[in-house]
Each structure stands twice: as C-alpha cells, then as structure tokens.
Amino acid sequence: MAPGESTSALEESTLAVGESTLALGESRDAEFDDGTALLRRGTALPGAQVLSSAAELLSPGAVLLSPGAVLLSPGAQVLSPGVVLLSPGVVETCTKRPETLRARCRDERILLVTSIVQSARDARPDEWWRSAVVYQVYPRSFADANGDGIGDIKGILGHLDYLSMLGVDVVWLSPVYTSPQDDNGYDISDYQDIDPLFGTLDDIDKLIEELHDRGIKLVMDLVVNHTSDEHAWFEESRDPESPKSDWYWWRPAREGHEPGTPGAEPVNWGSAFPGPAWQYDAARGEYFLHIFSRKQPDLNWENPEVRTAIFDMMNWWLERGVDGFRMDVINLISKPEVEDGPETPGTGLCYDLSRLADGPRMHDFLGEMYESVLKGKNLIAVGEMPGTTLEKAASYTDPTTGELSMVFQFEHVDLDHRAGNRFDVTDWPWVEYKKNVLRWQDGIGMGWNSLYLENHDQPRSVSRMGDDSPQFRQASAKTLGTVLHMLRGTPYIYQGEELGMTNYPFEAEGDFRDIETLNYLHHAMQLGAPAEAVLPGLAKGTRDNARTPMQWDGGVNAGFSETGPWLAVNPNASEINAVDQIKDPESVFHHYRRLVQLRHDEEVVRLGEFALLLPDDEQLFVYTRTLGDEQILVLANVSSRPARLPLGLPDHGACEVLLATHEIDDVDVLAPWESRVVRLS
Ligand code: TEU
Ligand code: CA
C-alpha cells in the first residue's frame, strides 16, 4: 500500500504485499523477500484484529494488537495506534508520520499494520460472555426463605423475576457448599454437596433449571486454592502415612525452634487475615500453610492427584448444568519457593501477598484445567487474581493461548488503601482511577476485562467513590454505574449495587461478623492499639459493608427475612429498597436496567475501542467508544460540585442522548454527579 493510501482497501481484508499478505481467516507462513520466516503461526480471525496474538511477527512473544501497530522487538506489545511497548514494561509513544514509520519498519523488517480489517473482534459463539452482564448473589445476604435469618437458595428462587426485570445474563453465586462457615463459605468441607444452611442439591438443580428457563446462566464459585480444615482430604492429610499426606503444604518447624512456639513457623509468610500463615498441627508434628484463615489450609497443586480430584469435581458440576466458574484466588495455586520474604516493617512477618501470586506453574495448572474441564464447552471462566499484573492478565485471557475468559484484577480497588491497608482508607483518587482504567482498557490486548466496583469483599461504591448523602446518593449511584458499564469488558453488578445501597454505620466490635475484620481488630489490639482508634477505619473498609441484608422493601428486616438477620439491616432500608425503586422510573434500579439494555442493544458499547479524554481532570470522567464509524461519548461529573465542560470535546450538543441521569438544562455544564451517554455517530 503506497504511503497515504486510505485504509478502506484493507477493509476488503487483505494486507498489502511486502508487509505480509493474509486473507481474513487464512493462516500460513509468510515470507519476506529475504526469505526469513516472518510469520510462523498467524491467523486472521474473522472480524478480529488482523493477527491473533499467537502470531509471532518478528520474534516470539511479539503481539500485534491494533492499527498503526509497530512491532519493534521480542515481547513488544502495541497497546494502541501509535503507542508502542518496545519490550515488556518499556512504552514509547510513536507519533511519527506513517511514511517514516513505514521506512523504519522496512529497515527494521517490521510488519506495519495500518488498519484493522474489522475493528473489533465480534463475540464468537463460545465467547458469549463478551456481551453479557453478570449479577453476583451473596447467598447469606440475598433472601431468607425459611426464617432463620440467613439467606438461602429458596430465597433466591423467590426473586428470579427481579433478576429477569433487571435484564442480567448471568448469575454468579458465591459459595453454598457444605462449610463450617469460618469465612462464610469460602472454606469448603464438601465440594459436591450444599450446606443445609443454604438448602439441598435439589434446590440448586431447581435454581439451574429456573435460571435457564429465563435465559440466565449460572456461574458457581470455585474455591480450590484451599479447603476447609474440616474437609475429609485435610483430615486424612494430617496423617503423614496417609495417601493424602502430600495434598497440602506441610513443613517442619524452623530449624532450632521448638515446634508450636512463636517464631517456629517454617518461614515468615503473613496471612491475609493477619498473623502467621503457618499453623502447627500437633497430630502431624508439622506446620500447614493457610494464606487465609487457620481453617482454610492451602491445597498442594503440585500434586497431580489434587488436580485430578478438582477437575473431576468441576466436571461433576458441569454435568449438573452450571455454565462456568468464578475461581477464588486462583493465581495463588502455584506457590513460590518456601523461603522467608522481606519483612513488612513492624510486623515480624512478610505480608506482601503479591509475592505468593502468579507462581511459576500457573499456565501449567490452568492449561491442564483448560484441557480437562473448560475446553470447547462454551463456558465462562473468571479468575479472581489479587496481586496480578496487566501483563499476566493479558496472558491468562488471551483467546488463543490463555485459559480464562477474564480475571478480577485488584489494582483499582486498592487505590484508596493507604500503604495497602484496606482499613486505612483515603478519599477516592479519581484521576488515578481513570489512568488505571485507561491502562487496562488499552493494555488487555486480545484478552478481556471484567468490570467491577463492588463485590462481597469491597465496601459499597456509592459511599466509597460516590456521595451517599441524601442529596447526591441517587445521582452518584447512577453515575458510578454509567462510567463502569460503558467501558469495554464484562460488567458485574453486586447485589444491592443496582439500588445504590450504602455502607453501614458500624460503631462497635459487636456490629461486625467478617473474620478478616475481626482478626484485624484483635491483631491491632494485641499490638497495643485501642479499639476506638481502629473502629473508624474498620467501619470504612470492612467487607461487612457489602454483606448487610438485601433491601427488598422498607418493612421489617427490609423484606430479607421474617426473623432477625445474621447481620443487621442498614437503617436506610426505608429510603433505599427494591419495591420503591421498581415503582419509580427515575430510580437507580431503572438506570441499571437501562445500562444493561444499552449493552444488549449497542455493539459499540460491547466492543468499541476505548479512548480517555481529560485524563487529569479531577471532576470529569469523559471517554469515547468507537466501533468502525459508530462512536459514543460518555460524559460524567464525578464530584458534588457543578462542572463546566471544557472546550475541545467532541461537539455533542445536538446528538442523540442514549442515557442521562438529569434533565439537560445546559449542554456545557454537568450538575453534581450528572452523567450522559451520547451517540456522536
Ligand atoms: O478474596 C480474596 C482476596 O484477596 C481479598 O479480597 C480478600 O478477601 C481480602 O479482603 C484481602 O484483603 C477471596 C474471596 O473473595 C474472599 O471472600 C475470601 O475471603 C478469600 O478469597 C479466601 O477464600
Ligand atoms: Ca434461611
């Protein structure tokens, strides 16, 4: 293609000779006139970007991601037009004019892709989740049908019409398996049975059936980094002679230390629920690893028998009709060398969880899971990955080499944690958050992002990122939904988020139930901190903020249960509840229903390229999504003060407004927490 030649030619899905010629869908070796093998494995996926990430253009690991891509070296990733990642970690903005780029490419024998044949990769049938919206149910707190104050499966069955009305495509169900509930079910003692607290296997079969009847899929929570210490596998493993003796991480006491005494732990790893991550077991005479609570011993995935047992269990659930898995802390299953880590100042332990994340055998283990369980079954597989990186996430979710549909990354939900401490919360840093969004929207490449602000481990977003005062609660809840749901990726709605539920006014130790929160309080008090000094931080950062009962109506126990619930209902249920909001077309509920509809109706929302505008503006969160010649503009004021739109934004005054939180009095001014989605073309 001669310099300056329009890209339209390429829309006929060919690439000019000399820069490698591939017809869409074709894959073959490409030769340069000097005979070097240029392209060993290349596939132009229908509707996808030109070459799959499996294409090794110049050398292994080179990935071609989008138009104007220039590949400069092994492992180089091109993030977006003109932006070049020279090699992992090194980014250089390439604003050179095409012909200069071309010359450079020719000299450096680099393939220059000048446009995307078909802009966005349309969802292949086995990638339905690229167009889906997921709703997370935390069973303990959703709805109680048998009056014991704890939510259950029959309670969920009683509210499926509500989920159909919201329009969601998938339900992610947090654990309902047999469990002593030390960590509310994330400590499983039998993977193939339902805890009587929540119901029976018949109840779950009914839930699968009734959801499917409504065209809604069910994703189960897969908690296999650890089991409960009451799981038969662990009880057996405590016997060093048993065939399962190596199913967990057992180590002798530290050299020269009396087993069971402080400091005798094998190495200085700290647990996420603080304190040492190693517990002495007198019966076995050794320590076992538990990254989370003492009742959550880590499984030894190095042992192939462990992997087989887990894959068999996963296939058992798939045969029962579930449509995929959300995989709990799945990037912790491959452990690093068991050796001391750098001490976290003032603690005597190493609390850096990221050191235990994304170990050397992650792709081995996930690859085996993919081959033995996931492959070719049209499933959704979401990996929860605390401490993972953009590069790692891109590798796990790459459609041709990765094993997962998407991951839950944690970078954004740690942004307001002072020194990584979730109980020492700052104001929400919007400018940093926008930059984080840009990095992941651009950097995930061929992979795919999950989109979330809330889940059962995070405080309520309207209180944390928005403004939960009576004046602005509704508007900020809606606008947080707008800025999240208009991004590229799969959005997750956590129960109550669609109502704008807020944090709870926790005041005393007795108000909390969460093991992480109570452990942190007791640990801080052991270190001499007065409870009243710790409580305010706990109230802000506790996971219990997400776990207060669902507010169905303004009545007794907010319609969650007839008897006193396991965790107190938020006193603002009389103002914030589903029944009232369903009746009010201006409610947060109906705003979320429209957000879900917009994603279902608009391909540009599902697949359009993301571009951030005004990155450094403290008040405004503005971006576009572009798909071919379609473009939408998202305008949001993320502050409690009016914001004037600066000059230089795409002209949108006369454009079709697809969604708005406020009557538009002045197109150039956004009211506090006002947001609009506008169709530019
Ligand atoms: O959470 C993993 C995780 O890293 C954190 O969210 C963690 O819960 C904690 O808040 C760290 O500050 C998953 C589950 O989502 C969580 O509910 C479980 O407690 C945890 O794993 C262990 O299974
Ligand atoms: Ca119940």
Q: How big is the chain by its Cα radius of gyration, in Å?
A: 26
Contact assessment for residue 512 and residue 544, using Cβ atoms and an 8 Å cutoff = yes
Nearest ligand atom owner, CA of 140: 2
Nearest CA to ligand 1 atom 6: 457
- Min mean pLDDT across 88-102, 247-261, 408-422 is at 88-102
Ligand having the closest approach to the CA of 156: 2
Q: From the candidates 144, 182, 384, 602, give the one annotated as an active-site residue.
A: 384
Q: 46-87, pLDDT tens digit by residue?
A: 333 333 333 333 334 434 433 334 443 444 444 433 444 433
Residues 6+ apart with CB under 8 A from 528: none
Contact at 8 Å (CB) between 490 and 133?
yes
Q: Characterize the bridge pairing of strands 69-70 and 286-289.
A: unpaired
Residue 72 near residue 81 (C-beta atoms within 8 A) = no
The best mutation among 183, 329, 424 to test binding of ligand 1, ranked by most ligand atoms within 8 Å of the C-beta, falls on 329
The residue-averaged pLDDT of 528-540 equals 96
The upper half-sphere exposure of residue 106, i.e. CA atoms within 13 Å in the direction of its Cβ, equals: 10
CB atoms within 10 A of CB 252: 12
Count the residues in the chain. 681
Band (pLDDT 50/70/90 cuts) for residue 13 is very low
Rounded to whole angstroms, how far apart are CA atoms 419 and 521? Answer: 17
Confidence of residue 126 (pLDDT cuts 50, 70, 90): low
User: How far is CA 473 from its chain centroid?
Assistant: 25
pLDDT (tens digit, 9 = 90+) per residue, 370-387?
999 999 999 999 999 999
CB-based pocket (< 6 A), ligand 1: 183, 186, 223, 272, 292, 328-329, 384, 386, 422, 456-457, 516, 543
222-245 residue pLDDT tens: 999 999 999 999 999 999 999 999
Catalytic residue among 221, 328, 398, 617: 328
DSSP 254: P
Over the stretch 618-649, which tens digit does the pLDDT of each residue have? 999 999 999 999 999 999 999 999 999 999 99
CB 194 within 8 A of CB 204: yes
Which residue, 225, 211, 47, is CA-closest to 134?
A: 211
Collapsing DSSP states into helix, strand and coil, what is residue 243?
A: coil
Half-sphere exposure of 109 (CA within 13 A, CB side): 15
Tens of pLDDT, residues 538-580: 999 999 999 999 999 999 999 999 999 999 999 999 999 999 9
Task: Report the atom number in ligand 1 closest to the C-alpha of 422.
Answer: 12
**C-alpha span between 131 and 606 (Å, rounded):** 6
**By C-alpha distance, which of 430, 450, 368, 432 is closest to 619?**
430
Q: Report the CATH superfamily, name and number, of domain 128-222+312-332+357-501+545-589.
A: Glycosidases (3.20.20.80)
Identity (one letter) of the amino acid at 307?
R
Residue whose CB lies within 8 A of the most ligand 1 atoms, among 293, 328, 458, for a mutation test: 328
Note the pTM of the prediction, 2 decimals: 0.84
For 240-260, the pLDDT digits (tens) are 999 999 999 999 999 999 999
* In the chain, domain spans: 10-122, 128-222+312-332+357-501+545-589, 507-541, 602-679
Cα 458 from Cα 462, distance rounded (Å)? 12
Residue 150 CA from chain centroid, whole number: 27
Tokens representing 510 are: 């007795």
The CATH superfamily label for domain 602-679 reads Golgi alpha-mannosidase II (2.60.40.1180)
Which tokens go with 205?
A: 């079969």
Q: Give bridge partners of residue 92 from the DSSP assignment.
A: 84
Question: How far apart are the C-alpha atoms of 462 and 546, rounded to whole Å?
Answer: 11
Distance in Å, CA 149 to ligand 2 centroid = 6
**Token output for 647:** 């000059």
